[in-house]
Amino acid sequence: MGEEKYLPELMAEKDSLDPSFVHASRLLAEEIEKFQGSDGKKEDEEKKYLDVISNKNIKLSERVLIPVKQYPKFNFVGKLLGPRGNSLKRLQEETGAKMSILGKGSMRDKTKEEELRKSGEAKYAHLSDELHVLIEVFAPPGEAYSRMSHALEEIKKFLVPDYNDEIRQEQLRELSYLNGSEESGRGRGIRGRGIRITPTAPSRGRGGAVPPPPPPGRGVLTPRGTTVTRGALPVPPIARGVPTPRARGTAAVPGYRAPPPPAHDAYEEYGYDDGYGGEYDDQTYEAYDNSYVTPTQSVPEYYDYGHGVNEDAYDSYAPEEWATTRSSLKAPPPRSARGGYREHPYGRY
C-alpha cells in the first residue's frame, strides 16, 4: 500500500467509525500518530543540514490553527477571505507566501465536504483535520524564513475575534464600494434618497423672477396701495424708480409703469444711426427736392401722375413735407392748422 494513500485512509476510517468501537478507534489513532512521527523523522533527517552557499530555493510550510473551538460563533473563514477573496489575495501578495484554508469547515457546502471527505482521495485528506491555514514559501533560505515570519505575523491579525477592528471596517467599506459600483453599472443608483428640491417657476425676461413672500397670517395688515385678492399672495411695496422684474405669475403694482428696457450696447458698434442720418438725407431727399423744383426734362414726363392737374399743389407738397424731414427717420410732426384741408394731388385715382 502506498504511503500517500495510507494516512488519508486511516483518518477517514477513524472519522467514519462509530464511537462505540473504543478499541478500534484507539488503535487507529496510535497508527496515525506512528505514521506521522515517522514522516516527521524523515523530514528532520533531510533538513538536518541547510546549504546557504548555493542559495538554492527551499520549501517551508506551516499549518496555523484557526481557533474555532474557542470562538465557535465567529466567522474566521469570512474574515480571512474578505469580499470576493480580496483580503487573502492581498495578504499573499504582501507576504510572498501561498496560503490555503484547509480542514473541517473550509468548504461552504457541508454535504459536498462530507462526500469528499469520505471519498478517501489524498487531495481531500485535509478535510479530516482541524480548520487551519496552510502557509507555504518557496524561496532561498534567508528570504524563505523572512517571508514565513512576515506571513505568521500578518495572519495573526486575522485570527482576532473582533467585529470592529481595522480589518473588518476596511472590508465593510470595500464591500459597500463593490455593491455600489455594481448597482451603478446596472443603471440603479446607490441605495438612499437625496434631498428633494422644489422646482421654481421659469423666469420671463432678463432679470428673472423674484420669489413671492410667504403669505401673512391672519390679522396681519397689508401695506397701503397693494391689491390683495382672495387666495393670492400680496405683493410687497416697491420704491419709486426701481424697475419691477417681469415674471410669469407675478402681479404688477397698479399705478406704476415700468421704464423701457435699456438698449443693448452691441447695437452702437454697427453705426445704424449714422447710416440713417447721413446717407438717406444727403442722397435721396435733397435729390428729390432738387428734381421737383428744377426739372431738367420735359414737364409732361415729370407730372405724368397728375396729368397736369393741380401742379401748384404737387410742388408745394414736396418742399413743405419732404424737405423738412428729420435725419432720424421719425414721423413728421402734426400740422398746426387743423381747419385747413387741402385736396390730395392723387384725388382722381
- pLDDT for 142-155, tens place per residue? 999 999 999 999 99
DSSP tag of 128:
G
Do 65 and 147 share a structural domain? yes
Side-chain half-sphere exposure of 38, counting CA atoms within 13 A = 8
Do 56 and 40 share a structural domain? no
Q: Which has more pLDDT, 101 or 253?
A: 101
Please answer whether residues 94 and 182 qualify as being in contact, where contact means their C-beta atoms are separated by less than 8 angstroms.
no
Do 14 and 54 share a structural domain? no
Share of the chain above pLDDT 70, in %: 48
Do 83 and 136 share a structural domain? yes
Residue 133: Cβ within 10 Å count: 25
pLDDT at 297 over 70: no
Residue 272 lies in a domain: no
Which residue type does 280 have? Y
Asked whether the whole model's pTM tops 0.85, one would answer no
Residue 102 lies in a domain: yes
Domain that holds residue 1: 1-49
Residue 344 lies in a domain: no
C-alpha cell, 171 = 472590508
Side-chain half-sphere exposure of 138, counting CA atoms within 13 A = 2
Q: How many domains does the chain have?
A: 3
Do 2 and 79 share a structural domain? no
Between 93-97, 258-262, 296-300, the lowest mean confidence (pLDDT) is in: 296-300
pLDDT at 332 over 50: yes
* Predicted pLDDT at 323: 47
Quote the CA–CA distance of 116 and 128 in Å, as a whole number.
10
Do 62 and 165 share a structural domain? yes
Do 55 and 32 share a structural domain? no
Q: 138: buried, middle or exposed (CB in 10 Å: 19+, 13-18, 0-12)?
A: middle
C-alpha cell, 194 = 437625496
Maximum separation of any 2 CA atoms in the chain, in Å: 152
What are phi and psi for residue 65, nearest 5 degrees?
-75, 135
- Looking at every residue in the chain, the average pLDDT score rounds to 69
**Which is nearest to 129 in space by CA: 12, 248, 257?**
12
